[in-house]
Amino acid sequence: MIHLTRLDGEAFILNADLIKYVEHRPDTFITLTSNDRIVVTESPDEVLQLTIEYQRNKRLLPDGCTN
């Protein structure tokens, strides 16, 4: 899961496994595997870094760990 911010300032957590692609136009649009779209304040590069960190950490945690 990654922490992101909507344009109105609302923080939320997104399951990064659901990201289909990220666009910059000029805001950052995240399209999910369900084809839903979310606009966030983070740059595409920030979303990429958060997603990479999430994927790395996901593989480091043993099954059943909630932290």
What is the domain partition of the chain in residue ranges?
2-60
pTM for the full predicted model:
0.83
* pLDDT at site 41: 98
> What pLDDT is attached to residue 59?
76
| CB-CB contact of 40 with 32 (8 Å) | no
At 64 the pLDDT is: 60
Instruction: State the Cα–Cα distance between residues 11 and 55, nearest whole angstrom.
Output: 21
In this prediction, residue 8 carries a pLDDT of 97
Going 17 to 18 to 21 to 23, the CA torsion angle's sign is negative
Q: Could you list the pLDDT tens digit for every one of the 67 residues in the chain?
A: 999 999 999 999 999 999 999 999 999 999 999 999 999 999 999 999 999 999 988 876 566 655 5
pLDDT for the residue 16: 96
